[in-house]
Amino acid sequence: MEEKEKYIMCNHCKRLIKDKDDLVVAFDFFAMNPYHSECFAQRSKNNFFMNGNPVNGTVSNAVTVFFGLAGLLVSFTDYYILTIVSIVHLSTRLYSYFKYEKILEE
């Protein structure tokens, strides 16, 4: 049986991320990349275009809850675009969780 990879490589310093608390998942344009929390802070400082909120941060979690509720509400109305946005956001959140965060949880 194949052993599942239990480590994640930081996209900034290319070293392994071993602790879930140290993991920051962020969008680089349309690619999702893992970083150490320190590397993410450094990266944001050095690059004006890459200073968005981390996908797995507190702000993002609040947004996820918001979009979840908003998505539910607007599904009864004609604002389909909001439903689509909320589905996309929730999918990226789940993708980040299963691709990176879950690995470090075990």
Q: Which stretch binds Zn ion (CB under 5 A): 9-17, 54-62, 67-75, 93-101?
A: 9-17
Q: State the binding string over 14-53 for Zn ion (x if CB under 5 A, else -).
A: ----------------------x--x--------------
Q: Which residues pair with 8 in a beta bridge?
A: 17
Q: State the binding string over 73-92 for Zn ion (x if CB under 5 A, else -).
A: --------------------
What are the residues whose beta carbons fall under 8 Å from the beta carbon of 96, sequence distance 6 or more?
A: 25, 32, 55, 56
Q: Which two tokens stand for residue 31?
A: 């690619």
What are the residues whose beta carbons fall under 8 Å from the beta carbon of 40, sequence distance 6 or more?
A: 12, 24, 26, 54
Q: Which two tokens stand for residue 96?
A: 């980040």
Binding of Zn ion by 103 (CB under 5 A)? no
The CB-nearest residue to Zn ion is: 10
Binding site for Zn ion (CB under 5 A): 10, 12-13, 36, 39
